[in-house]
Amino acid sequence: MQKIVVSLVVLLMTMSWSSCLKDDCTSHRTFIRLDPIYKSLDAIRSEFSIGVARDLKNPGKIYVYGNYLLINEINEGIHIIDNSNPAHPVPLSFVVISGNKDMAVKENVMYADNAIDLLAIDISDPESPKFLKRVDGVFQKYYGWVGNQGNQSIFLGYTKSTETQVLDCSDPNFNRNTFQRGGGLWFSTDAFQNGGSSAAKAATGIAGSLSRFGVVGDYLYAIDQSELHVFYVDQPKDPKKGKSVQVSWNIETLFPYKDKLFIGAQNGMYIMDNKNPEAPVLLSSFTHARACDPVFVDGDIAYITLKDGSECTNFINELDVVDISTITSPRLIKKYPMQNPHGLSILDKTLYLCEGKFGFKVYGVEDNKTIDKNLKAHLTAFHAYDVIAISKAQLIVVGENGLMQLDATDPKNIKSVSIIPVVKN
């Protein structure tokens, strides 16, 4: 009888403890929610149009062409802005291009991706651009396909929102930082991090370091997940598809430099010999841990940023400095820990580095073995995604808050020249 009583007491205590635990075993957590965007190919192609200037809402890649500034509105199109007076940039027009992420210009012809297609657009009158040509189906590896041949949709990316979830301990996602629910992806804000060509001839422009496009002479190069595509643009208004060269999987950025093409990938940097521009060949590669990876080259040195975050599937934040004086055998000089490095640019032995939500940094790189000891400035008031250094007096920085032009002539007293802010609905 005594054993039965003891057992009952233990059972009641266990039930009571479980009940209390159930009442208190909840977690209020904030997540970044990403919902996939799909559109049919017909809808993507039909949405092209020329519109009036509009507010900046979700800026992506940037490109400078003469006195004009091009800003990608992610998956929606391109802003064309008169930047002849950097203190007062004037929006001129907006080209609606569904699925757009990249652009490049040659002789007043803008090349832009319309999801899987390449468009050629005449911007000789930037207030009234004109459609010239479409090259169909060249970027199919960059996008996911859903459905059959008669009813295809293309994955363009995600819409992002912030939501607070109350998770019970019985929820299988209780202790997870990432999970899927309702067709979307969810990332804990504790784990989620958001995620250029050298000065060219006047006939072309300057791209940011995160670009997938590059114009070199009579050729346009564009990367597509695993391939380098070559286009003939000797007649700029009539681009023609050339060869495609297999590089590696998960290639992300393209940096033309002299007679080489430097390609950033999630597993390293690939160096292509461009002496035969119709058929670039792989010369060498530099391997690093898996990470998102833009590259900027200055002389015999390549600077590579590696960052963590949901899209990069790693936990590394660093700057790799690589000696490429022997082009067939790149050699690491040094790794530098960073906070969350994105795009970068170098001018006159000065490194301009975007650190995402951690802001914008300026380093002296006179000695590549002591970069960490030569931090000249760190601005933390804004998000920085990519940068183009036109001169020390004109840095063009883009991020989640908009586009800012800075005067860094005196790195200890960096001044704001102008701001094009993001305007949310």
Query: What value does the mean pLDDT take over residues 3-32?
Result: 48
Residue 119 lies in a domain: yes
SS3 for 282-323 is EEEEEECCCCECCEEEECCEEEEEEECECCCCECCCEEEEEE
Q: What pLDDT band is residue 49 in, cutting at 50, 70 and 90?
A: very high
pLDDT (0 to 100) of residue 178? 53
Length of the chain: 425
Instruction: Name the token pair of 298.
Output: 């200055």
pLDDT (0 to 100) of residue 167? 61
Q: Number of structural domains, the chain? A: 1
CB 263 within 8 A of CB 283: no
Q: Is the pLDDT of residue 39 over 80?
A: no
Residue 27 lies in a domain: no
Q: Is the pLDDT of residue 183 over 60?
A: no
- Domain span at residue 240 reads 41-142+193-421
How confident is the model over 230-257, as pLDDT tens digits?
A: 999 999 999 999 999 999 888 999 999 9
pLDDT (0 to 100) of residue 129? 97
Q: Is the whole model's pTM more than 0.85, yes or no?
A: no
Residue 232 lies in a domain: yes
Q: Half-sphere exposure of residue 249, counting CA atoms within 13 Å on the CB side?
A: 1
Residue 216 lies in a domain: yes
Residue spans of alpha helices (H) in 312-413: none
Query: What value does the mean pLDDT take over residues 142-163?
Result: 57
How confident is the model over 335-369, as pLDDT tens digits?
A: 999 999 999 999 999 999 999 999 999 999 999 99
Of 17-26, 308-317, 348-357, give the range with the top mean pLDDT. Answer: 348-357
Residue 358 lies in a domain: yes
Query: What value does the mean pLDDT take over residues 215-229?
Result: 95
Task: Identify the CATH number of the domain in which residue 248 sits.
Answer: 2.130.10.10
Residue 6 lies in a domain: no
Q: Which amino acid is at 93?
A: S
pLDDT (0 to 100) of residue 425? 74
Q: What pLDDT band is residue 199 in, cutting at 50, 70 and 90?
A: very low
Q: Which amino acid is at 329?
A: S
Q: What pLDDT band is residue 11 in, cutting at 50, 70 and 90?
A: very low
Q: What pLDDT band is residue 147 in, cutting at 50, 70 and 90?
A: very low
Q: What pLDDT band is residue 45 in, cutting at 50, 70 and 90?
A: confident
pLDDT (0 to 100) of residue 193? 37
Q: Which of 113-117, 170-174, 323-327, 359-363 has the lowest mean pLDDT?
A: 170-174
pLDDT (0 to 100) of residue 267? 87
For tokens 């006179």, the residue is 366
Q: Which of 135-139, 216-220, 291-295, 395-399 has the lowest mean pLDDT?
A: 291-295
Q: What pLDDT band is residue 112 in, cutting at 50, 70 and 90?
A: very high
CB 387 within 8 A of CB 405: no
For tokens 């286009």, the residue is 231
Residue 292 lies in a domain: yes
- Give the helix/strand (H/E) hosting 9: helix 2-24
- Strand order from edge to edge, sheet including 130-135: 103-106, 109-114, 117-122, 130-135
Beta bridge partners of 391: 394
Query: What value does the mean pLDDT take over residues 97-121?
Result: 96
Residue 305 lies in a domain: yes
Q: What distance in Å separates the CA atoms of residue 246 and residue 263, rounded to the nearest whole number?
A: 12
How confident is the model over 368-377, as pLDDT tens digits?
A: 999 999 999 9
Instruction: Name the token pair of 393.
Output: 């007096």
